[in-house]
Copies of this chain bind each other. A is one copy, B any other.
Amino acid sequence: MPYDPSAFPPFAVTVDLVVLTVRRHALCALAVRRGESPFQGRWALPGGFVRADEDLSQAAARELAEETGLRAHDPDAPAQEGGAHLEQLATYGDPKRDPRMRVVSVAHLALAPDLPAPRAGGDASNARWAPVGELLAQGGYGRDGEPVAPLAFDHAQILSDGVERARSKIEYSSLATAFCPPEFTVGELRRVYEAVWGVALDPRNFHRKVTGTPGFLVPTGGTTTRQGGRPAQLFRAGGATLLNPPMLRPEV
């Protein structure tokens, strides 16, 4: 068929972000309150339109910086200090997902260390870190007992897919270090796994596994007692991005 501009319908293309972090032993996602219709006043994932001259990953990195101030890393690079892991998640294009027009959203997944309070256009009340269980509890009640409305659009599905991606990916990669500060202890890394998977892991077996995998953790020489108890060695993420054999997620 010849090139004919009228042969295809125009779409709007957006990026939506699933930004995950671990706070107070819980897996949390960044949510912003919608200020406009549709779904006005409801919580949603941060996101926005892709600009005319922008690549998808550029648009995602820009949105991430606008919402959190974080700089994004290359997805293939190991976790480094002061930035977030960012990767494409999936694309959502149901014709009815946005009642205004035909919008295709390329969702991205970002993993960040614990951050100070989020900002959304400088207005803190319009952005928050919320435990993913709370955001996904359809028609349930939040931590403080207030009723929680479901996320706007198909964002519950997107968030759910993002959480599942994170849960499975830390099994066989060093991605869990993206939730940690530049230097961290084995115990802090273990608590990341426990929060993301929602299980308890044996500290001794976990210690053996992560320290026994060559290239996964590099000791920095320092120690810390910020968790209480005996001082723990500090590590940074090593060059190994793949964990083989993988960390086994306990049965449900």
Binding site for B on A (CB under 8 A): 1-3, 5, 7-14, 36-37, 49-56, 88, 90-95, 100-102, 104, 106, 245, 248
Contacts and interface: CB of A to CB of B under 8 A. Distances in A.
Contacts of A14: 8
Contacts of A49: 7-9
Count this chain's copies in the assembly.
2
Contacts of A102: 52
By DSSP majority rule, is chain A's interface helix, strand, loop, or mixed?
Answer: loop
B55 A94 contact: yes
A8 B104 CA distance: 12
Contacts of A52: 9, 95, 102
A90 B88 contact: yes
A164 B186 CA distance: 31
Contacts of A90: 88
Contacts of A9: 49-52
A240 B117 CA distance: 43
Nearest to A49: B8
Contacts of A50: 8-9, 11, 93, 104
A53 B11 contact: no
Contacts of A51: 9
